[in-house]
Amino acid sequence: MAIDIEPSWLRVLGSEFDKPYMVALREFLKTEKQSGAKIYPKNSDIFNAFNTTPFDKLEVVILGQDPYHGENQAHGLSFSVQKGITIPPSLRNIYKELQTDIPSFTPPNHGDLTEWAKQGVLLLNASLTVKAGMPGSHQKKGWENFTDAVIIKISEEKTGIVFILWGAFAQAKSELIDARKHHIIKSPHPSPFSADRGFFGSKPFSKTNAILEKEGKQPIDWQIH
C-alpha cells in the first residue's frame, strides 16, 4: 500500500505511518492481496477523503464506519459511491432528509459526494478498506487506530469544526473531540433500519450551515450536480 496523501495531511499525520500498528496493517493488506482477495476501494482511492479535502480547508467531518463492499462502489469517501452505481439505501435517506432540510435541494441521479469533499467536508470512514462482499472484514486490523488519530489531530489543531455523527458507532468517537472548541451534531444513522427513529427531521445540513455562517465561514452548498 503506497502512502499517497495530500501534503497538509502528511504534515499532521506523518508520524502515524511508521508506527507498529500501521506496519502491521500494511502487512495484513499485502497478505490479503497475495491470497487473491479483492480489496475495496482500489489502492489509489484509499486516502481519497484526505486528498480531496486538505487539512487546511477542512470545515466539516461526516464519519462513516466501513467502505462499501460491492464492486465499483467505494472510492474512499464515506457514504459516497461512484457515478453509474446504484445509490445505496442510507444515501437515499440522506438525500430524502436534504429535501426537507434544504428546500432547494434536488436529489441527483448518482451518489458521488465529491462536490461536498471539495468544499471542506471530510467524508471519513473508520476503516479505509474492506474485503469484497464481506462488510466489516478489515475492522480491528489497525485502521481505527489511524482514523482515531485523525479525529484527535483535527480536534487538537483546528477550531470550530462541525462533526456530524450518525448512529452509535460514530457517536462513540465524540470522546475524541474537544466539545469546547468544536461542534457536534448527533442523530440516529440514515440506514433504513434507524432513519425513522430520529434521523429524518434532524436537519444536520441546515444546522451545519448555521454554525459555519455564525463563525463567519462559507456555508456548504449541499446540492450535488
Kindly report the number of other CB atoms within 10 A of residue 217's CB atom: 15
CB 89 within 8 A of CB 192: yes
- Return d(Cα 96, Cα 79) in angstroms, integer: 14
- Return d(Cα 139, Cα 130) in angstroms, integer: 8
- Of 76, 62, 184, 74, nearest to 123 by C-alpha is 62
For residue 27 the three cell numbers come to 502487512
Q: List the catalytic residue out of 45, 56, 66, 112.
A: 66
Query: Is 66 an active-site residue?
Result: yes
CA distances from 15 to 23, 35, 40, 57 (A): 12, 29, 25, 21
Distance, CA of 225 to chain centre:
20
- Of 145, 131, 19, 153, nearest to 67 by C-alpha is 131
Active-site residues, by number, are 66
